[in-house]
Amino acid sequence: MPIELNHTIVHARDKRESAHFLAGILGLEVGPQTGPFLPVETANGVTLDFADIPAESITMQHYAFLVSEEEFDAAWARIRQAGVEFYADPRLRRPGEINHGHGGRGLYFLDPAGHGMEILTRPYGGG
C-alpha cells in the first residue's frame, strides 16, 4: 500500500469556530465530533481534526489546499464576502492581492487561531 497522509490535528482556541470557518471558506462539511476532535475532510480523504488547546500553546502552522479554478473563485468570493483579509504572499506583505505563481492562482489568509491557510490552483512547480 502506498503511504498517504490520513489526518492531522489542527490546534485551535475554539475548534468549532476554526472548523466551521475553514469549512465555510472551502465549501466543505464539518463532520460529527469524534472524541475531542471536530473533523473537516478534504476530497482526497485527508481529515483535519480540530482540537481545542490553550491559545498560548498554539504554534502557527501552514495548510495549503489545491483547488480547481471554480473552487478558487468560490472560496475567494466567500473570503471577500466575509471580510477576511487575504494576501498574495505567505509573509502577508501584499494585502488584497492574489498571486499568479506556478501557472495558476493563489492566496493566503489566516484562520481564527492564526494558522496560515493557502488556496492554490496549481501545485508548486506547475505540475
CATH of residue 70's domain is: 3.10.180.10
Residues 97, 9, 122: CA angle, nearest 5 degrees: 35
Full-model pTM: 0.95
1 within domain boundaries: no
110 within domain boundaries: yes
2 within domain boundaries: no
Residues 102, 108, 110: CA angle, nearest 5 degrees: 160
Range of the domain at 83: 7-53+60-120
97 within domain boundaries: yes
48 within domain boundaries: yes
74 within domain boundaries: yes
CB 40 within 8 A of CB 34: no
Total domain count, the chain: 1
CB 67 within 8 A of CB 75: yes
71 within domain boundaries: yes
125 within domain boundaries: no
pLDDT (mean) for 10-29: 98
Q: Is the pLDDT of residue 124 over 90?
A: no
Q: Is the pLDDT of residue 127 over 60?
A: no
Q: Give residue-wise pLDDT tens across range 62-101.
A: 999 999 999 999 999 999 999 999 999 999 999 999 999 8
